[in-house]
Structure 1
Amino acid sequence: MSASRSTGLRTALLTVPLVLGLLGAAAAPAGAATAHRPGSSLTCRGAGVDPEARVRHRTEAVIHAPLRTVWRLQTDVERWPAWQTPVLSAERLDSGPLHPGSAFHWTTPLPPNPASTDPVLEITSTVRQLRPGSCVRWTGPAAATGLRIDGVHVWTFTEVPGGVLVRTEETHTGPQVDANVPAATDILRQGLEGWLRDLKAAAETGVR
């Protein structure tokens, strides 16, 4: 679970991609974002986000960089802190190129909020589906004392003239987010759009 970040749970939910591919929409202008449209959820190898989740968001942007660059940045998990300000640490729990079954543990700041007094949100994500250069889907919990969010995150990557159309959709479930769906959805929206902005900036400026 992604550029400035707001306080509170926004930072926490930003990096819960348990989240962090999109399906069947026309290409949007560079940097454009689109809201979730019922019935148009993204999939990777036939699997998508949680259909029962009440908290969900989908967005997309054209990144003016080669597909190999965009894919490398997104799947080289241990390098996320180099271009995503909210990611404090990221550790692969296996080795080699990201593949189905790969798992990684990462952390992000958790500012004071009503749900937990912990300073850090702990996230463990597991890749469930992946098609190299095309899509990735991972799931997993984000947790702190008194707080748990279960996320499903799908990303898709499609070459278009001048770059790559990157689409992403994520759902969150859990008592804290389900207690205030509009607020949790807005937090998720800001997080996903921030992640996509960071990915776009890193790819277009040649971050390695």
Structure 2
Amino acid sequence: MTCTSKPRRTARAAVALATTLGTAFAVTGCTGSHEDAAAPRASASAPESSSAEQPIAAGEQCAGTTINRSAPITSSADILIDAPVDQVWDVHTDVERWDDWQPTVLTIERLDDGPFTSDSQFEWTTPVPETAFSPADTMTVTSSVQQLEPGKCLLWEGPGTGESIRIDKGIHLWTFTETDEGTLVHTEESWDAELLAALDEADAKTAGEQLGGGLEVWLDLLKAEVEAS
């Protein structure tokens, strides 16, 4: 099979999709600059083929719920923020202001009124840069909060759609732990999509690393915004 065959193009297009969806930071020249020896960075992987359930730590779930660890692409990242947990929580959950401090959030809109709760929904858009495998696009992500414990954790899920690409279901988990040094923020994300499920192991690993890079940048921007205020 040559590198220009349709199956290979499909696989590479899936990697390009994973590279750009919802984490366009990683491919638009906006990369994380914060380095903190005390704060773990991202880890990314394709799910193992074994169907055995892996134990999930308390800091990796919200109200007993977590990401889809069997999804084609998963990744996680952590950062330590020099601020109390309430301050970090308030900045992160004020979703209507995301576009003030996240360059690749083009628009953001709450779909419900009142306090941010476990029933909240929001819709946001992010650019998908042109690649060798797909044209430039704009992805619309509709996020529905599934679990929320104020000051501790939240989890949202939903699809991401563009004119040429789609993620059927993304799940994003956030946990916040107060420490003597500040607030430890842990995040994990999983992506389900037909194209991603067709990836071989090497391409899935590449896609997971790209997702992890986007998570790192989100955390770096959150840290900068919180500590600046």
TM-score tier, shorter chain, comes to 0.7 to 0.9
- Return the offset for 1:162: 2.6
1:32 to 2:40 alignment:
yes
Once the two structures are superposed, residues 20-67 of structure 1 have per-residue CA deviations (whole angstroms, 9 ceiling, x without a partner) of xxxxxxxx9543315269644611000000132131111111100121
Structure 2: where are the runs of 5+ without partners?
1-15, 25-35, 46-53
1:54 to 2:62 alignment:
no
Q: What's 1:193 paired with?
A: 216
Q: Any idea what SS the aligned residue of 2:90 has?
A: helix
Task: For 2:133 and 2:176, locate their aligned partners in 1 and report how far apart those are by CA, in whole Å.
Answer: 35
Matches within 5 A, 1:168-187: 168-178=187-197, 179=199, 180-187=203-210
Q: What's 2:23 paired with?
A: 14
Q: Any idea what SS the aligned residue of 2:68 has?
A: coil
Contact 1:49 1:153 survives alignment (8 Å): yes
Give the share of equivalent positions with the same residue, in percent.
39
- Return the offset for 1:68: 1.6
1:155 to 2:179 alignment:
no
Matches within 5 A, 1:1-208: 9=17, 10-14=19-23, 30-35=38-43, 39-40=55-56, 42-113=60-131, 116-117=134-135, 119-149=137-167, 150-178=169-197, 179=199, 180-206=203-229
Query: Larger % of helix: which?
Result: 2
Contact 1:91 1:106 survives alignment (8 Å): yes
Q: Any idea what SS the aligned residue of 2:115 has?
A: coil
Tell me which moved more, 163-172 or 51-60. Answer: 51-60
Task: For 2:98 and 2:133, locate their aligned partners in 1 and report how far apart those are by CA, in whole Å.
Answer: 26
What is the aligned length? 187
Q: Any idea what SS the aligned residue of 1:44 has?
A: coil
Superposed CA RMSD in Å reads: 2.1
Residues 115/106 of structure 1: CA separation in 2 closer, same or farther (3 Å cut): farther
The structure with the larger Rg is 2
Q: Any idea what SS the aligned residue of 1:190 has?
A: helix
Task: For 2:117 and 2:132, locate their aligned partners in 1 and report how far apart those are by CA, in whole Å.
Answer: 37
Task: For 1:109 and 1:36, locate their aligned partners in 2 and report how far apart those are by CA, in whole Å.
Answer: 22
TM-score (norm 2): 0.75
Residues 116/97 of structure 1: CA separation in 2 closer, same or farther (3 Å cut): farther
Q: Any idea what SS the aligned residue of 2:104 has?
A: coil
Residues 124/114 of structure 1: CA separation in 2 closer, same or farther (3 Å cut): farther
Task: For 1:115 and 1:129, locate their aligned partners in 2 and report how far apart those are by CA, in whole Å.
Answer: 36
- Runs ≥4 in structure 1, deviation > 6 angstroms? none
- Return the offset for 1:173: 1.2
Residues 103/190 of structure 1: CA separation in 2 closer, same or farther (3 Å cut): same
